[in-house]
Amino acid sequence: MAAPDEFESWLNNRLDSLEVDRDVYGSYILGVLQEEDSEEEKMDAIQSILSAFLEEDALEDVCKEIIKQWSDSSAGSKARNDHVDAEVQAIASLIEKQAQIVVKQKEVSEEEKKRKAALLAQYANITDDEAYPLSFFFSFFLSAKQSRFLFIPLNTLFKNTNLEDVMNAKKVDREKAREDSHKKKEQDKMQREKDKLLKQERKDKEKKRTQKGERKR
């Protein structure tokens, strides 16, 4: 395991404070910390390195300090590495899920195309496209926001399964509506003429009464 940069910097400063050559003994101590497994082995090896520079009463405390600093720094480095690994794993998982979604959308799109084609083929013989083109009916099944084709059973959309009959019935309804509108206009016209005549009659009667009154005076 490589020594964390923070620990190596700390060790160099600590050796400088003890007036120990960092370039020579720093690498020895790092090698011991990296290679030895147990704390006891680390302690013995570091004590043998620093015994030439420290008094016996200070030697043990300094060695314990170095080992503790190494352990804390290594634990922090491992935690950071684990965090990075977790982030990488999360990103990889997200990419995999997105890829699955794209594949699923493509599969759904192909299924929708097949349904559209089947429905178009079923009603390809419809000729009355001027009043109600086939696209008019399909437009009901297109979502304006998602632009997705919704396949709905025809028996829920029409009273019978013969689309041509439905369209013919619509045409009859339109013609009847035009006739009713024309009749209504004629009736309104006749009513206006009638109202006009009644109004004129009232005026004539009022005029005659006025003339009679003037002659009596």
Q: Please tell me the pTM assigned to this model.
A: 0.35
Highest mean pLDDT among 74-83, 107-116, 142-151, 193-202: 193-202
* Residue 196 CB neighbours (<10 A): 10
| Cβ–Cβ under 8 Å, residues 43 and 49 | no
Q: How far apart are CA 13 and CA 22, in angstroms?
A: 8
Q: How far apart are CA 23 and CA 25, in angstroms?
A: 6
Q: How far apart are CA 17 and CA 62, in angstroms?
A: 11
| Cβ–Cβ under 8 Å, residues 151 and 138 | no
**For 203, how many CA atoms within 13 A lie in the half-sphere containing its CB?**
6
pLDDT band at 2 (very low <50, low <70, confident <90, very high): very low
Average pLDDT of the residues of the chain: 75
Tokens found for residue 196: 């006009």
Angle between helices 39-50 and 56-122 (to 10 degrees): 130
Mean pLDDT computed over 16-32: 92
Q: What is the largest CA-CA distance in the chain?
A: 156
Each residue of 39-93: pLDDT tens digit?
A: 899 999 999 999 989 988 899 999 999 999 999 988 865 555 554 555 556 566 6
Task: Please give the DSSP secondary-structure letter assigned to residue 3.
Answer: P
Burial of 71 (0-12, 13-18, 19+ CB in 10 A): middle
| Cβ–Cβ under 8 Å, residues 128 and 114 | no
